[in-house]
Amino acid sequence: MAQEVRGVIAPGKDEPVRLETIVVPDPGPGEAVVQVQACGVCHTDLHYKQGGISDDFPFLLGHEAAGIVESVGAGVTDVAPGDFVILNWRAVCGRCRACLRGRPWYCFDTHNAEQKMTLASTGQELSPALGIGAFAEKTLVAAGQCTKVDPSVSAQVAGLLGCGVMAGIGAAINTGQVGRGDTVAVIGCGGVGDAAVAGANLAGAAKIIAVDIDDRKLETARSMGATHTVNSRETDPVEAIRELTGGFGADVVIEAVGRPETYKQAFYARDLAGTVVLVGVPTPEMKLELPLLDVFGRGGALKSSWYGDCLPSRDFPMLIDLHLQGRLDLGAFVTETIELTDVEKAFERMHHGDVLRSVVVL
C-alpha cells in the first residue's frame, strides 16, 4: 500500500520551501523504499529551489541521506529490508560503454526509481532532488541508489558521504590520485574543499595548502588536516603556493569553488606535469581563457571530478570503516542537526557561509 509521509517541497521558483504530505508508492521492480534517518542540506537543494537546475517544480528536496531499507521490489537482491544504507545519486547501470570498460564510476546511464512520488493534496508528481528526495520520512529510490555500510555509524555522519563530502574526498583520492608525499593545494574550503583536504590527508600528502577568502574557513581547513593556509583576499595564492612548494607549485591543485578566476589560480599554482582537479561546479555563462601554449607547456592533467569519481559500492563502506577506526573524522563536517521544519533557515545560514553542513535528523 502506498504510504503518506511528510516531506520538504520546493513549490516554485524562489518560493519558500514547505512541509507537505507526500505519497510514497510501494517499491516496483528494482526499487526500494527507505526510511530516512538523516539528510544533509546541500547547495544543490538551494539551487533547485532557486530554479537553477530545472523548472520541474514541485521538487522534493534533500539528497545527502542515510536510513534503513523498509521494503524492496521484485528482483532486488543487493539490499534487503532492515539494511542500513547511504543513498547515492549515481546508481550505475552495469551496461553502458563506461561500465562495460570497467570504469563504472563514470557510468553514462545512471538511473533512479521509475515510479513517481506525489503530493497528497493535489496528486501532482514530485521531482526528487538528484533522484533522491530525502527531506522526507520515507523516500522511493532505485535499489542501486542504496549502498549498505556498517550500521554502527551514526546516520547523520553517514549521510554526508552521499554528496558533498564524497565529492571532496573523491576529488583528492580518486580524481587527483593524491599519493604519499605529494604536495596538494585546495582552493575554496567549504564542505567540498574541506573534504578534499581530509582526503589528501588520508592519502598521505606531505603538504596540504588550504586557500580561501574567509579566515573562518581556513581555520576549519586546518582542523581537517591542512598544513598551511592562505587567505587569497590578502595574498596572491599562486605566489603563496609556489613559495610553500620550493618555488615550483603543488603536485595536485583542487579547485572547489567553480569559478574561472579560481580555476586559473589552480592552473598556475601546480607544478609542471601536475594535476588540476575541478570539483567546483561552474554556471553556464562562465568562460575560461588561457594561453594554449601554457596548457601545452605546463603538461600534466586537467581533470573534472564528477561526484568525486566515486563508486559508491567501493567507496562508501571503505570510508565509513575508516571513520569508525578514527582515521577520518566525518563528524567534523556536521555543524548542526536540525528538524525537517528548519530547512529554509538552514539555507540562509548556508548562504552566509556559517555552516559546513546542517543535517536534518528524523
Q: Which residues are at the interface with ligand APR (CB under 6 A)?
A: 43, 164, 167, 187-193, 211-214, 217, 232, 256-258, 262, 279-281, 353
Q: Which does 212 bind (CB under 5 to 8 A by kind): Zn ion, ligand APR, none?
A: ligand APR
Q: Which of 9, 41, 66, 99 contacts Zn ion by CB under 5 A?
A: 99
**What is 181-193 written as a DSSP string?**
T-EEEEE--SHHH
CB of 42 to Zn ion, least distance (A): 3
For the chain, what is the radius of gyration of the CA atoms? Answer: 20
CB of 192 to ligand APR, least distance (A): 3
Distance separating alpha carbons of residues 357 and 63, to the nearest angstrom:
13
Identify the CA nearest to 144 among candidates 1, 42, 34, 308. 34
Nearer to ligand APR by Cβ, of 127 and 232: the residue is: 232
Distance separating alpha carbons of residues 187 and 194, to the nearest angstrom:
10
CB of 11 to ligand APR, least distance (A): 23
Task: Write the binding mask 7 to 46 for Zn ion: x where contact by CB under 5 A, - elsewhere.
Answer: -----------------------------------x-x--
Cell of 345: 533557515
Q: State which residue has the least CB distance to ligand APR.
A: 190
Q: Which of 5, 23, 24, 107 contacts Zn ion by CB under 5 A?
A: 107
Q: Where are the alpha helices (DSSP H) in the chain?
A: 43-49, 97-100, 155-158, 164-170, 191-202, 215-224, 237-244, 260-268, 292-298, 312-324, 343-351
The helix/strand/coil state of 242 is helix
Nearer to Zn ion by Cβ, of 147 and 229: the residue is: 147
Q: Which does 257 bind (CB under 5 to 8 A by kind): ligand APR, Zn ion, none?
A: ligand APR
Q: Contact, 235 vs 211, CB < 8 A?
A: no
Q: Which residues bind Zn ion (CB under 5 A)?
A: 42, 44, 93, 96, 99, 107, 109, 163
